[in-house]
Amino acid sequence: MARAAGNIEIGVSTPTVADLKKHLALATDQWQANFCVVPLAHPRYWRDHRRPRAEQFTRSDLVLDSNAWCRLVVGKLSPWIRLDSADEALRKQSEAAFKQEVAWAAHLNVPAVMLPPVGSDAVNYAHCVNQALLSAPHIQFWVRVPITHPPQSTAEAAGGDEDGSSGTGAWASWNRLRCLCEHAPNLGVSLELGADLPDDEAELERWLGEPSTLGLPGSPLGIFREPLRAVVTPAVAYLTNKRGYPTLSRRHQAALARLLQHKPRLLVSGRADAHSEGLGAHVQYLRYLVSQRLAPSQQERPQPRAAAGESLRYEAPYYDFLQAPLQPLQDNLESQTYETFEKAGGGRGRQGALRGGDPVKYERYERAVYLYLCQRHQPGGEPAVVMVVGAGRGPLVAATLRASAASGRRVRAFAVEKNPNAVVTLRGRCATEAGWDAVTVVPGDMREWEAPRAPVLADLLVSELLGSWGDNELSPECLDGAQAPPQAGHEARAQRYLKPGGASIPTDYTSYVAPLSSSRLWNEATPSQGTRDDLAHFETQYVVKVHRMGVAPAPLALAPTHDPRPSGAIDNSRVAQLSFDVPLGGELHGFIGYFHSTLWDDGSEAVHISTEPSTESVGMFSWFPLFIPLRTPVLVPEGGRVEAAFWRNASRHRVWYEWALTEPQPSPIHNPNGRSYHIGL
Ligand SMILES: C[S@@+](CC[C@H](N)C(=O)[O-])C[C@H]1O[C@@H](n2cnc3c(N)ncnc32)[C@H](O)[C@@H]1O
């Protein structure tokens, strides 16, 4: 048997299988398929309740060993089953057959069962499937969904409900089913790309909000929690090229390429005599497409030693993978985490890495400091006092020194850092690196450091205390206070040692938020099957590289630009109410948070860093967005509106966010009083 192409398994589905053992040998050895979809019951075993048949309804389980059943076979339900038929006798017969075939699949321990398409009002279908999901939790159930309409000519396409729907209706029917089945993690979709694809690209988008990834190790077909489990290309949807081999149209290839990003299983369905080489030519062709489409970009290449946390830099292994945000104020970051901050793409060595880093972030900081120095200081003049607050292992200090050399302006630098382990690195660099004799290392918390007053106050404060949502690593709490003396209830802040009229890089930062449809992320936040009442998981925010957003209108500013040099009373709590138009509609699973920051703007040139999609700093991999889940997904109608409120709250010892949906229906306020999640001060 062939290896899965680019970790994507390719299977074949034929309407009938006379001799299973021979069929598997043919499919896996000659056609090079990874698995087969096989009818669970004999196709001629029509369960006529008036004339019950005496013979067995299917082949013996002894035709294969248990290893082959659970590795190579996906069971398919009988196509005649009509669970919502108006004919009561047929409905009852269908229910009995459904139960019998599911029980048989559980007995065989096949990894998945293919269900017929679901109709728009298939309530009894949902009832039977729900029972199956609960009775056989170890089996995946894949509902066939034709993206347009079922293929006409294959015998197997006769399966499904009499009113099996298509297009928008298919998605609505699927969505209804999964809601009725309470989003069971073992219920998924097998999306069928028929000969005709939908005219409206948005139809495909809808399914791209239903991503899938490879399964967990243990079973070759894996244990999957995401709705899009397989993409089916019926043999009749293929064209024939000049050499007589099957090929897909450009539109099909483009659609497949987009779906492939989520690494679903691929399936060719059709008769075994669809081509002189059976379905082998189709499998080979799909294998070729996969190899063409899945070459990872430099940024996506996995970095095996990447540390856990907000700053995981290399993206592919982290797509749709939820992580707890870093808390660099409360915790001391580890060496490995700093290394991932600093690591450059393009394979720089360790020395280079310490000077380089995120190719965008550090370059932009350097540019910002350079513009500041050119604008505010003279060549050969007094050294500019630059305080890098939260210096880590020193990449922003190094950027400052480079900007100084490039601009011809001298600097006197202070590196303030509260993590004693990073201080060791900073001191080491002062002792060994050229130019670092201009650097004074200040170990300690910037909120408490008694900076020497005259003559050394800072001309410029440089900080990178930004989180995925801008202020969620507590940059305001660390920097606020400006020139004002400490106030009652607030400790001293870093900006006490900024000269009157001094500058700050960044000059501002703004949080953004947008509605998100991603059942994948929502499922990821679900603690585990059967324990969905675990509230805390849905009242927590997660850092995540979102692989694919489904319905997501343009983000809006969450709050007015936050200037880290406020005047007047320090109050970092705030509330924002937002409204979004949702043209396409879909299921809302939560929100996605971004930030935009201006590092410096000298009037002629502005330097930004941003994760907000419309201004995104392409190639900057220091931040992934923030997933803010809803406890219960909500259906937003086409042309509908989402309204939500967000609060940032601060007390003496902690900061926390609360959020609530108000339209299309109110949700409870999530995380009241920070009961599930907070950020420590
Ligand atoms: C996100 S890291 C950035 C490190 C480095 N500047 C860079 O860009 O790679 C933030 C750093 O700020 C430090 N930090 C956070 N809050 C601080 C505080 N109140 N006083 C001093 N250092 C602080 C953390 O220990 C951490 O090293």
In this structure, the answer to whether residues 341 and 453 fall within a common structural domain is yes
CA of 501 to the centre of ligand 1 (A): 24
Q: Which of 475, 505, 535 is the last residue of a domain?
A: 505
CA of 526 to the centre of ligand 1 (A): 32
Where does the pLDDT of residue 455 fall: very low under 50, low under 70, confident under 90, or very high at 90 and above? low
In this structure, the answer to whether residues 290 and 354 fall within a common structural domain is no
CA–CA–CA angle 256, 260, 264 (5° rounding): 110
- Residue 79 neighbours by CB under 8 Å, 6+ apart: 43, 116, 156, 158, 159, 160
Amino acid at 52: P
Q: Is residue 2 part of a domain?
A: no
Mutating to test ligand 1, I would choose from 327, 418, 490 the residue with most ligand atoms within 8 A of its C-beta, which is: 418
Q: How confident is the model at residue 404, as a pLDDT? A: 97
In this structure, the answer to whether residues 519 and 501 fall within a common structural domain is no
Q: Is the pLDDT of residue 454 over 50?
A: no
Mutating to test ligand 1, I would choose from 310, 312, 329, 450 the residue with most ligand atoms within 8 A of its C-beta, which is: 329
Atom of ligand 1 nearest to the CA of 365: 8
pLDDT, mean over the chain = 78
How does pLDDT run across 382-428, given as a tens digit for each residue? 999 999 999 999 999 999 999 999 999 999 999 999 998 889 899 99
Q: Decide which of 300 and 419 is more confident.
A: 419
Closest CA to 596 of 547, 629, 560, 543: 560
In this structure, which residue's CA is closest to atom 23 in ligand 1?
Answer: 390
Amino acid at 241: N
Q: Is residue 317 part of a domain?
A: no
In this structure, the answer to whether residues 486 and 604 fall within a common structural domain is no
Q: How far apart are CA 497 and CA 449, in angstroms?
A: 9
> Of the segments 120-124, 460-464, 480-484, which one has the largest average pLDDT value?
460-464
Q: How far apart are CA 548 and CA 257, in angstroms?
A: 13
Q: Is the pLDDT of residue 31 over 60?
A: yes
Q: How far apart are CA 566 and CA 655, in angstroms?
A: 18
Q: How confident is the model at residue 50, as a pLDDT? A: 53
How does pLDDT run across 586-621, given as a tens digit for each residue? 888 899 899 999 999 999 999 999 998 889 998 888
Instruction: Give me the CATH number covering residue 622.
Output: 2.70.160.11
In this structure, the answer to whether residues 493 and 554 fall within a common structural domain is no
Is the CA virtual torsion 561, 565, 568, 570 positive or negative?
positive
Q: How confident is the model at residue 365, as a pLDDT? A: 97
Within the chain, how many helices (H) and strands (E) appear? 15, 25
CA of 446 to the centre of ligand 1 (A): 10
CA of 313 to the centre of ligand 1 (A): 17
In this structure, the answer to whether residues 587 and 571 fall within a common structural domain is yes
Please measure the distance between the N-terminal and C-terminal CA atoms of the chain and give it in whole angstroms.
56
Sort 216 into a burial class: Cβ within 10 Å, 0-12 / 13-18 / 19+.
exposed
Where does the pLDDT of residue 489 fall: very low under 50, low under 70, confident under 90, or very high at 90 and above? very low
Query: What are the residue ranges of helices labelled H in 299-394?
Result: 335-342, 350-355, 361-376
Atom of ligand 1 nearest to the CA of 447: 19
| Structural domain boundaries enclosing 556 | 508-680
Q: Is residue 632 part of a domain?
A: yes
Q: Decide which of 455 and 252 is more confident.
A: 252
Q: Is residue 213 part of a domain?
A: yes
Atom of ligand 1 nearest to the CA of 445: 20
Q: How confident is the model at residue 585, as a pLDDT? A: 76
Interface confidence (ipTM) of the complex: 0.99
In this structure, the answer to whether residues 256 and 393 fall within a common structural domain is no
CA–CA–CA angle 153, 194, 161 (5° rounding): 70
Q: Is the pLDDT of residue 171 over 50?
A: yes
Q: How confident is the model at residue 622, as a pLDDT? A: 85
Question: Which of 3-17, 212-226, 527-541 bottoms out in mean pLDDT, i.e. has the lowest?
Answer: 212-226
Q: Is residue 313 part of a domain?
A: no
Q: Which residues are annotated as a binding site?
A: 338, 361-362, 417, 445-446
Instruction: Give me the CATH number covering residue 472.
Output: 3.40.50.150
Between the alpha carbon of residue 195 and those of residues 102, 237, 261, 265, the distances in Å are 30, 4, 22, 19
In this structure, the answer to whether residues 373 and 496 fall within a common structural domain is yes
Question: Which of 37-41, 229-233, 576-580 bottoms out in mean pLDDT, i.e. has the lowest?
Answer: 576-580
Q: Which of 505, 525, 548 is the last residue of a domain?
A: 505
How does pLDDT run across 69-92, given as a tens digit for each residue? 888 999 999 988 999 988 988 888
In this structure, the answer to whether residues 72 and 121 fall within a common structural domain is yes
Q: How confident is the model at residue 283, as a pLDDT? A: 93
Q: Is residue 84 part of a domain?
A: yes
Q: Is residue 314 part of a domain?
A: no
Q: How confident is the model at residue 305, as a pLDDT? A: 24
Q: Decide which of 655 and 550 is more confident.
A: 655
Question: Which of 282-286, 293-297, 346-350, 520-524 bottoms out in mean pLDDT, i.e. has the lowest?
Answer: 346-350
Residues with CB under 6 A from ligand 1: 328-329, 333, 341, 390-392, 395-396, 416-419, 422, 445-447, 464-465, 478
Q: Which residues are annotated as a binding site for S-adenosyl-L-methionine?
A: 338, 361-362, 417, 445-446
In this structure, the answer to whether residues 99 and 212 fall within a common structural domain is yes
Percent of the chain with pLDDT over 90: 32
Closest CA to 12 of 246, 349, 342: 246
**DSSP labels for 40-90?**
SS-TT----TTS---S-SS--GGGS-HHHHHHHEEEE--TT--TT-SSHHH
Q: Which of 452, 482, 505 is the last residue of a domain?
A: 505
Sort 253 into a burial class: Cβ within 10 Å, 0-12 / 13-18 / 19+.
middle
In this structure, the answer to whether residues 515 and 501 fall within a common structural domain is no
- The pLDDT of 11-39, averaged and rounded, is 90
Q: How confident is the model at residue 495, as a pLDDT? A: 62
Closest CA to 502 of 470, 479, 472, 486: 479
CA–CA–CA angle 421, 423, 425 (5° rounding): 85
- Find out whether 224 and 215 touch, Cβ atoms under 8 Å: yes
Q: Is residue 326 part of a domain?
A: no
Mutating to test ligand 1, I would choose from 465, 479, 490, 599 the residue with most ligand atoms within 8 A of its C-beta, which is: 465
In this structure, which residue's CA is closest to atom 14 in ligand 1?
Answer: 390
Q: Decide which of 45 and 525 is more confident.
A: 525
Atom of ligand 1 nearest to the CA of 466: 1
- Per the listing, tokens 């009749």 go with 236
CA of 464 to the centre of ligand 1 (A): 7
In this structure, the answer to whether residues 195 and 246 fall within a common structural domain is yes
Question: How many domains does the chain fold into?
Answer: 3
CA of 314 to the centre of ligand 1 (A): 21
Tokens of 519: 């059942």
Instruction: Give me the CATH number covering residue 131.
Output: 3.20.20.150
Q: Please list the active-site residues.
A: 464, 473
